[in-house]
Amino acid sequence: METTPKPETMTAEVHASGLETRDMLLNIGPAHPAMHGIIRIVAKLDGEQIEEADVEIGYLHRGFEKMAEQVDYNGVMPYTDRLNYVSPLINNVGYCMAVEKMLGITVPERCQYVRVIVSEISRITDHLTCVGATAMELGAFTVFLYMIKAREFLWELVEKVTGARLTVSYCRVGGVKGDLPDDFAEPCKKAFAETRKVLEESDQLLTRNRIFTDRMAGTGVISAEDAISYGITGPFLRATGADFDVRKDSPYAVYDRLDFDVPVGTTGDNMDRYLVRMEEMQQSMKIVEQALRDMPPGPVLVNPETGREIPAAEMVDLAKMGDINAFSGGCAVAGPTLEGSGRAHQPSIATDEKRVFLPAKEDAYGNIEGLMNQFKLVMFGHGIRPPNGEVYFPVEGANGELGFYVVSDGAAHAYRVRVRPPCFAIMSALEHMLTGDMIADMIPTFGSVNMIGGELDR
Amino acid sequence: MNNSGMIEAVSAKFADGVLASHVFRGDATVVVRRESLFDVARFVKDDPALSMNFLMDLSAVDYSTFGKGPTPAFFASSGVAVKPSTQIPDEDPWPGPGYVSEKRGADPEEWRFTVVYHFYSTTHKHRLRLVVPLTEDDAEVDTVTSLWAGANWLEREAWDMFGIVFRGHPDPRRILLYAEFEGHPLRKDYPVNKRQPLIGPLN
């Protein structure tokens, strides 16, 4: 293929009035304050109308797919956090489930519920960011602050579960890092009450706001046929009226047991995308509440056999001195980031497959089998080894279908990991949506695309 | 339509074009000859029983170092395979990357890349994967941009990362990397720590 850039021609023609008119090339980005994301758009303008728009991406390319071939299967987890950094937990879940499909293992029911809960919380944070940022770019700064406030409440929930706010690395192949904290439903209820209040306030501020609707309605329109042809999925597609949702159409985890609606729009413009996202947040909260109600109960933290809790650091000291009896049967209390990963929790959060999931800390420190098991999984040259094969696993990301295509040749690291980033398809249609619109419409359209550089450029 | 039905439909229509097919972990896969790719793609899109209106993903794999990893298989040495889950169908194991050459009766070294298409149908809610094997010195395949608009950027990415040429592509530029970048980084012979010379600002 030739890699010569498109000729950027300036055409001049003489208007009937005798005045010369010519198109103007406007270079927007790569770093522009009205665009959240590093991207360059070279727009050819006729007055204020966009005639052509060349979208240039790749400014955040970090070689995710190459790096995923270099490290072991669980080592990819931190990289997946950085794909969509607004909803990292969905990326975690998608990648883990792809590798689990290759291995042919399933995770316990409680773990599946945990994954659904964290995915849906992430979806809300993602939509809050998208809607908030779009509103801010259209001048509604208050809404942005409100929504970031709500996102903060939800990130506190994420922090309670994972120990981190953004770079969570919560899932593991074959399970999750730790169980939900005790009485998680309580803070969840509070955070959702706050979020609902924020959504109501934002709805009052935006939905019937003349300035907002004038700029959102009728701009960035795409038809359902075009959207499907471009491979657009998620809220963006649903705003056009097509009701494709991976959670409904190829359900994974426990989504088929949960009752929720898939909101769809009619016109496929920015306003519909805003409304679909607002409703999806309500539905996500509904899903989390159902999942918290329905999920099988987890174990109590203290091991019922002995009822003893031992701080992990103390246990290491005892183990070093060979005093096995002092902690055998006890339950390790690890630091806040490892909470919920003790032996008592293991059966409910991790698959019953020793060749995939790390043993509980009590076993790794306390007996030779556990120690060997630990090293068989973490030592260089060992680790999880799926059989030869290729699998594709899609999950519903916040922006649409997030797919992982993994090829294994039996080694401890993946042979090929391919991500199908949802906003890649939407960005490829950006030119189509911008053409014919005014230059000011670029801001709401680009905002509703919810471009996430991390997953777009990988 | 179920997996075997989809494979049957494509194989019946393109007896010469289809090299192999398999179902691994519930993913139906049809391996097609490069010459028939465009026709097969158009068929799966237009056939009412398949109607794959989504091109979900298009990517490539470089199989040149497949199975040549430095470490022995832990599962193989322990003598036990991971127990298959009841939820994931595995009636048909993966025939391995050699499935193409076996059918051809040719040397497995002969081909190097596969271009992988993932399709989805919103009407029938089924998925299909098409795989096109390509040789190293003739890594060219027809573009499907005229069938799915989304193929435009996906094919640009496959060119960018693997150097696979899509014949008839309307806009054959690199997409994630810059024009002066040398080589194709996702090829297995591209070292992970290779540095590229800095280029000055373009004006």
Domains of chain A: 64-297+386-417 (1.10.645.10), 309-378 (no CATH)
Residue A185 CB-density burial (10 A; 0-12 exposed, 13-18 middle, 19+ buried): middle
Span A54-72, average pLDDT: 87
Tokens of A111: 């773990």
Encoding tokens for residue B21?
């097919």
- The 10s digit of each residue's pLDDT in A392-421 is 999 998 888 999 999 988 777 888 999 999
Check pLDDT > 70 for residue A266: yes
Q: Which residues of B touch A223 (CB under 8 A)?
A: none
C-alpha to C-alpha distance for A361 and A377, rounded to whole angstroms: 14
CA distance A211 to A416: 48
Q: Mark yes or no for CB contact B129/A392 under 8 Å.
A: yes
Q: How many CA atoms lie within 13 A of B148 on its CB side?
A: 35
Name the helix (H) or strand (E) containing B130.
strand B127-135
- Pinpoint the alpha helices (H) of A358-452: 361-366, 368-378, 422-428, 430-434, 442-449
Residue B11 phi, psi (nearest 5)? -65, -35
The rounded distance, in Å, linking the Cα atoms of A81 and A86 is 9
**Are the Cβ atoms of B171 and A6 closer than 8 angstroms?**
yes
Percent above pLDDT 70 for chain A: 90
Q: How far apart are CA A341 and CA A346, in angstroms?
A: 6
Tokens 């030869």 found at: A388
| pLDDT under 50: residue ranges of chain B | 71-81, 104-107
Q: What is the DSSP letter of A439?
A: G
Separation of alpha carbons A404 and A145, rounded Å: 34
pLDDT given at position A49: 86
- Indicate the SS3 state at residue A170: coil
Please check whether residue B17 is in contact with residue B39, taking contact to mean a CB–CB distance below 8 angstroms.
Answer: yes
Distance, CA of A266 to CA of A242 (rounded, Å):
9
pLDDT band for position A277 (cuts 50, 70, 90): very high
Q: What's the whole-model pTM score?
A: 0.85
Token pair, residue B117, equals 């298409």
For residue B19, the distance in angstroms to the closest alpha carbon of chain A comes to 18
Nearest chain A alpha carbon to B125: A249
Instruction: Provide, as residue numbers in chain B, all residues whose Cβ is less than 8 Å from the Cβ of A249.
Output: 122, 125
Q: What is the pLDDT of residues A344-393, one digit of tens each?
A: 777 777 777 777 888 887 777 777 888 888 888 887 767 787 877 889 99
- Statement: residue A5 has pLDDT above 70: no
User: A458, A62 in Cβ contact below 8 A?
Assistant: yes
Task: Give pLDDT tens digits for A228-241.
Answer: 999 999 898 999 98
Confidence band, pLDDT 50/70/90 cuts, at residue A69: confident
> What whole-number distance in Å separates Cα of residue B55 and Cα of residue A448?
22
Give me the pLDDT at residue B86, please: 55
* Segment among A102-111, A139-148, A365-374, A449-458 with least mean pLDDT: A365-374
Q: How confident is the model at residue A109 (pLDDT cuts 50, 70, 90)?
A: confident
If you ran DSSP here, which 8-state letter would residue A72 be given? B
> According to the model, what pLDDT value does residue B79 have?
41
> What is residue A376's predicted lDDT score, i.e. its pLDDT?
81
As a whole number, mean pLDDT of residues A4-12 equals 52
Residues β-bridged to residue A41: A28, A55
**For residues A67 and A381, which has the higher predicted lDDT (pLDDT)?**
A67
Partners of B169 on chain A (C-beta within 8 Å) are: 1
C-alpha distances in angstroms, A358 versus A342, A376, A384? 11, 9, 10
pLDDT at A215: 87
* pLDDT tens-digit readout, A305-325: 555 677 777 777 887 887 777
Mutation pick from B64, B82, B184, B192 vs chain A, by most beta carbons of A within 10 Å, is B82
**Sequence-ordered alpha helix ranges (H) in A321-457:** 346-349, 361-366, 368-378, 422-428, 430-434, 442-449, 453-457
Helix-helix angle A442-449:A270-294, to 10 degrees: 20
Instruction: For residue B13, give how far its alpha carbon lies from the nearest alpha carbon of chain A (Å).
Output: 24
B90 or A437, which is more confident: A437
Q: Please, what is the angle between helix A270-294 and helix A185-206, to 10°?
A: 160
CB contact under 8 A, A231 and B87: no
Q: What residues form DSSP beta bridges with A407?
A: A390, A416
CA dist B154 and A16 (Å) reads: 43
Tokens matching residue B73:
């298989």
- Lowest-confidence pick of A33-42, A156-165, A442-451: A33-42
Residue found under tokens 């990362």: B161
What the block records as the tokens of A312 is: 């992990």
| pLDDT score of B77 | 46
- Residue A394 preceded by cis peptide, ω within 30: no
pLDDT given for residue B98 in this prediction: 57
Q: How confident is the model at residue A120 (pLDDT cuts 50, 70, 90)?
A: very high
For residue A337, the 8-state DSSP code is: G
Which residue has tokens 């990289």?
Answer: A79
- Does B24 contact A389 at a Cβ distance shorter than 8 Å? yes
Residue in A with minimal Cα distance to B93: A389
Q: For residues A455 and A421, is the Cβ–Cβ distance under 8 A?
A: yes
Do A249 and B122 lie within an 8 Å CB cutoff?
A: yes
- In whole angstroms, what is the distance from residue B1 CA to residue B157 CA? 31
Ramachandran class of A340: left when φ > 0, alpha when ψ lies in -120 to 50, beta otherwise: left
Shortest distance, CA A359 to any CA of chain B (angstroms): 17
B94 to A66: CB separation less than 8 angstroms, yes or no: no
The answer to whether the Cβ–Cβ distance between A228 and B53 falls below 8 Å is: yes
- For chain B, the maximum distance between any two Cα atoms, rounded to a whole number of angstroms, is 62
Q: How far apart are CA A227 and CA A415, in angstroms?
A: 32
Please report the pLDDT score of residue B20 as a whole number.
80
Q: Report which of B130, B112, B124 is spatially closest to residue B47, judged by C-alpha positions.
A: B124
Rounded distance, CA A384 to CA B178, Å? 36
Which ipTM did the prediction report? 0.85
